[in-house]
Amino acid sequence: MLPIFPGSIDAAGQPATLGVLGGGQLGRMFVHAAQRLGYFTAVLEPDPQSPAGQVSHHHIQTDYDDPAGLRQLAQLCQAITTEFENVPAQALQTLALTRPVAPGAAVVGIAQNRIEEKAHFTACADVSGVSCAPYAVIETRAQLQAVQEKRADLLPGILKTARMGYDGKGQIRVKTAGELAAAWAELGGVACVLEKMLPLTAECSVLVARGWDGRVVSFAPQRNVHVDGILAVTHAYEGNMPLDLANSARDAAVSIAQHLGYVGVLCVEFFVVDDGSPHGGLVVNEMAPRPHNSGHYTLDACDVSQFDLQVHAMAGLPLPQPRQHSPAIMLNLLGDVWLDGSGQLQEPDWRPVLSLPGTHLHLYGKLRALAGRKMGHLTITGPDVASVKTVARRAAGLLGLPGLDAI
């Protein structure tokens, strides 16, 4: 496609405008990145108080599959992206009839369905060098019975819904065939994947960006710590994991993006398992066709953020190889920070946290704090890893954040 240059005006007098489906915090940070370059922005999101809608030039307040809303978005924008993978793939197909859409509907559709996603990972394992955990598909009672009788090797395992699972939702751990049947019933008998539980030693993720011309750039892998299925801490600095493992993860993520013909920012998440080798082995877990929570540190620790690359990729601009200038640790801020011991809302005392050196507070503009809801993040940067860890521990202690022992 031809580049859509920032600040340009078309023959009808319309400024260069980029659109996004979804109004959450990822959309908000995309909008900020696009506006810094001089683009106008449009957000399609039904929530009238959405974080991205609050800061965009245009807020189209309709459902994601509303025909009139999609037409308006296409009329306003020269290119369109999405901020989350559960937007209807059909909406992206409709928009792609008249506008460049990155990532495309087919790729988003794969990421929406764990069955298709795992089939893709398996198909490109020979090229990427990394496969997913052993698994079985359970869509019918007959398949459930077959797994119970013939795939005892998958237990203990984790039963995951094929669709709409995130942040630990739609997942149940099972140890026996009986627990598997009960869990499938509890999840409503919907299509699921049973994954074998592996001896994990760590989790990591890699962010890559691929342009329309096939050029790929990437960030170094970040090591992640989850608490109750939700990302709590991201370690982003040299030495956060063994170099050979980091290189393998980056190469695998690039291969997966190339195999998909992907355009935009892609996050690939990996497990590090204890396979008897000195540093363990890699297993690909899942992918997100968008910027990712684990990449928020790039806003403060890199010369180009994941959202800058999202803008560049969808608009057909050159993709610069990002450079990280500071070691960083990112701490997720969930709604629990706003709740006291009795569950009552209280505003956190940010003063002692913001007085710490190298702290960067990002709040997402959400008006209601709920337990487990992502309200913001705190990134700590510094001249060296030791000082960053010291400040991160102090900040986590002041805010009562989980994962303190993992910093």
Which positions make up the binding site for ATP?
A: 114, 160, 165-171, 195-198, 203, 226, 285-286
Three-class secondary structure assignment of 188-256: CCCCEEEEECCCEEEEEEEEEEECCCCCEEECCCEEEEEECCEEEEEEECCCCCCHHHHHHHHHHHHHH
Give residues with Cβ within 8 angstroms of 227, minimum separation 6.
402, 403
- Give the whole-angstrom CA distance, residue 351 versus residue 51: 24
Contact predicate 224/331, CB 8 Å: no
Q: Among all chains, which residue has been given the structure tokens 């202690």?
A: 397
Binding-site residues: 114, 160, 165-171, 195-198, 203, 226, 285-286
- Give the whole-angstrom CA distance, residue 120 versus residue 123: 5
Residue 126 identity (one-letter amino acid): D
Contact predicate 248/282, CB 8 Å: yes
- Give the whole-angstrom CA distance, residue 249 versus residue 222: 10
- Give the whole-angstrom CA distance, residue 330 versus residue 16: 33
18-45 burial, b for 16+ CB within 10 Å, e for fewer? Answer: bbbbbbbbbbbbbbbbbbebebbbbbbb
Give residues with Cβ within 8 angstroms of 195, minimum separation 6.
132, 133, 134, 135, 154, 157, 158, 160
Give backbone dihedrals phi and psi of 386, rounded to 5 degrees, phi first.
Answer: -60, -45
